[in-house]
Amino acid sequence: MRKQIAAANWKMNLTYQQAEELIDQILNADISLKAHQSAVFAVPFPYLIMAKSELADAKSYFVAAQNCYTKRSGAFTGEVSAEMLQSIGISYCVLGHSERREYFGEGNAMLAEKINICLSYNITPIFCCGEPLTIREAGTQNSYVEQQLKESLYHLSADQLKKIVIAYEPIWAIGTGKTATTEQAQEMHAHLRQVLSKQYGDVANEISILYGGSVKANNAKELFACPDVDGGLVGGASLIAADFIQIMRSLK
């Protein structure tokens, strides 16, 4: 079975003390993850070392950065490099989140560079893709998301692609009052896998594809039951211990 992942994206939330408390509450739930399951915590940069320390003895728990820069080092004030992340033992990095694309102008070419540098430091990219409302309403979501994959991932070899996690975010279903159905989630995940299959063959069946459209405690089990949904990239619900615990327990 493909790796099933519950990934928490805390975004720019929580104080240091609140972050410690949240991790402790989740650890105290004593969740026993199976060999094919993982929990990943994408925490703000100041909390990476703390989270790494807190989760050090927890099996199948990992820490992710929420972003990194395209260069190894240099005069890039305010940026954080993949080399820095590797030096403190960070395993994952979220790349191309819709907020990074929208607010900070990150495009597919830049994200290809970030993918490359993460892989060169043995950090697993969680590559985000997804379409805004205008694209969904025009019915061109499949080609739109396919283009994101082509421009950011298709330069990779099959062996490199195996090291990528993909997260599909239906941007139109986040904060718009509209809701993506489980059928729509499965439809897009199946399309993504088909697109990868055309380029890479059977390797596509080994790639974990997470769903990132308002995953909550009360819909996670239904979403994760879809054959091509391999877990979730969870925003708001990951900030509530009881909710994220339930989401972790919903992995198949």
Residues of the chain with pLDDT under 50: none
Model confidence pLDDT, tens digit, residues 56-88:
999 999 999 999 999 999 999 999 999 999 999
Where are any strands of DSSP class E within 73-119? Answer: 92-95
pLDDT at 192: 98
Contacts (Cβ under 8 Å, ≥6 apart) of 124? 91, 92, 93, 118, 163, 164, 165
What ranges do the domains of the chain cover?
Answer: 4-249
Catalytic, 169? Answer yes
According to CATH, the topology of domain 4-249 is: TIM Barrel (3.20.20)
Q: What global pTM score does this model have?
A: 0.96
Average pLDDT, the chain: 96
Catalytic, 191? Answer no
pLDDT at 177: 60
Query: Of residues 97, 99, 131, 146, which has the active-site annotation?
Result: 97
Query: Of residues 99, 131, 169, 189, which has the active-site annotation?
Result: 169
pLDDT at 89: 97
**Alpha-carbon distance 204 to 158, whole Å?**
9
pLDDT at 175: 64
pLDDT at 179: 66
